Amino acid sequence: MTNIEILKRLYKDYTKKYLHKIFLAVFFSILVAGSTSATAWLLDPAIEKIFINKDQTLIFIIPILIIAAFSTKGISLYMAKVLMIKVAEEVKKRIQIDMLSSFIKSDTEIIENKHSGKYISNLNFDVNQITGMLSNSFLSFFKDGLTLIGLLTVMFFQNWKLSLIAIIMIPIASITAKRLGKRMGKVATEAQEKSGDLNKYLIDLFKNHKIIKIFQRENYEYLRSEKFVNDLKEKSIKIATIFIRATPIMEILTGIMIAILIFYSGKLIMNEQLSINNF
């Protein structure tokens, strides 16, 4: 099955019945994006009215609005995460029940064609990967995407020239994320295989423990166990390394963007084409 077919089946068989909770999580994601954008919008009058014009009437109102914006963001983010965690756990339960039902009803010949350790890995590791994608990736996609749209809208209203600089960086960041995503998928598949190998070895180890003792193969089995655990460790390190690899890349891109914004904004301010509060 292709990735699209897998996602369609995941939606039709498991996530469709929880659409109301998913839409509610999307609603809270919109509140997160709106409150983040509102905070950026409030900084303009805060600098201009309070610090530059010294307006006494707004010295209480703007701080209260900022507190409200951050409170809305924090509560909404919490609610969105709780909802998606509940959906992910429900989907996980349904998938595992269906898998167990399939194992129970399958012919003995089909079950014996694959080692039981592989089935255990499918039931635990693979299902956790799917539900992790649902609870984390789905929420991040909506939350970060909507926040980006909101912040770009605020930038366009305040100064469309500066917002164009940020928009130019989006395709670069998207290409980087796409490449890292492909690499992550490949390594995650390899980690699933190594997890299956480890489970298979553990079952064999407990099943044949007496034989190992009789033939005094403890040292040999110790070396084998070390290899299986080490292989899984290496794949886990690769996954974690690829996952955090985006951090320095995005930091560098952000630094470049900020440097360009400061340079260009400085030129505009010096030429009196931009006020300090808009920057």
- H/E stretch holding 252: helix 218-270
pLDDT computed for residue 24 by the predictor: 93
Residue identified by tokens 């808009």 is 278
CA torsion angle for 153, 157, 161, 163 (degrees, to 10)? -20
Predicted TM-score (pTM) of the model is 0.68
The CATH number covering residue 29 comes to: 1.20.1560.10
Question: Is residue 66 in a domain?
Answer: yes
Phi and psi of 225, rounded to 5°? Answer: -60, -40
Retrieve residue 151's tokens: 């912040």
Residue 223 lies in a domain: yes
The answer to the question of residue 276 being in a domain is no
Give 58's contacts (C-beta < 8 A, 6+ positions apart): 45, 46, 49, 50
Report the alpha-carbon distance of residue 30 to residue 26 in Å, rounded.
6
Which pLDDT belongs to residue 275?
62
The angle at the Cα of 172, spanning 168 to 173, to the nearest 5 degrees, equals 110
Q: Per residue, what are the HEC states of 207-220?
A: HCHHHHHHCCCHHH
CA 30 – CA 35 distance, rounded (Å): 8
pLDDT at residue 111, rounded to an integer:
66
Task: Specify the residue for token string 């194992």.
Answer: 103
Establish if 128 belongs to a structural domain: yes
Q: Which domain holds residue 253?
A: 3-270
pLDDT of residue 222: 83
- Does any domain span residue 279? no
What's the number of CA atoms in the CB half-sphere (13 Å) around residue 204? Answer: 14
Q: Is residue 278 part of a domain?
A: no
The domain tally of the chain equals 1
- Per-residue confidence (pLDDT) for residue 246, from 0 to 100: 64
Per-residue pLDDT of the chain (279 residues; tens, 9 = 90+): 566 777 777 778 888 888 899 899 999 989 988 988 888 788 777 776 766 677 677 778 888 888 898 899 899 989 998 998 888 888 888 888 888 788 777 776 776 677 666 677 777 777 777 777 777 777 777 777 787 788 778 777 777 766 776 677 777 767 776 777 677 667 767 776 777 777 777 777 777 778 877 878 888 888 888 887 888 788 778 777 776 666 676 667 767 776 776 777 677 767 766 665 555
Residue 275 lies in a domain: no
Note the pLDDT of residue 213. Answer: 78
From CA 180, how far away is CA 144, in angstroms rounded?
17
Helix spans in the chain (H): 3-10, 19-45, 58-105, 108-112, 116-121, 127-132, 138-158, 160-207, 209-214, 218-270
